[in-house]
Amino acid sequence: MTVPAQEDVCETSCVHPDAVQVARAALPQESSLEAAIVLLKAVADPTRLKILSALSSTELCVCDLAQVVGISESNASHQLRLLRTARLVRYRKEGRVAYYQLADHHVRELLSSALEHAQE
Look up residue 78 and give its amino acid: H
Q: What pTM was estimated for this model as a whole? A: 0.81
Tens-place pLDDT, residues 52-109: 999 999 999 999 999 999 999 999 999 999 999 999 999 999 999 999 999 999 999 9
- DSSP of 84-105, one letter per residue? HHTTSEEEEEETTEEEEEESSH
* Number of domains making up the chain: 1
Q: What CATH number did the domain enclosing 86 receive?
A: 1.10.10.10
Inside any domain, residue 14: no
Q: Is residue 15 part of a domain?
A: no
**CA separation for the pair 11, 4 (Å, rounded):** 12
Residue 24 lies in a domain: no
Rounded to the nearest integer, the mean pLDDT of the chain is 93
H-helix segments, the chain = 17-26, 30-43, 46-55, 62-69, 73-85, 105-119
Share of the chain above pLDDT 70, in %: 95
Query: Quick check: is 70 in a domain?
Result: yes
Question: What is the extent of the structural domain holding 63?
Answer: 29-119
Q: Is residue 38 part of a domain?
A: yes
Q: Is the pLDDT confidence value at 1 over 70? A: no
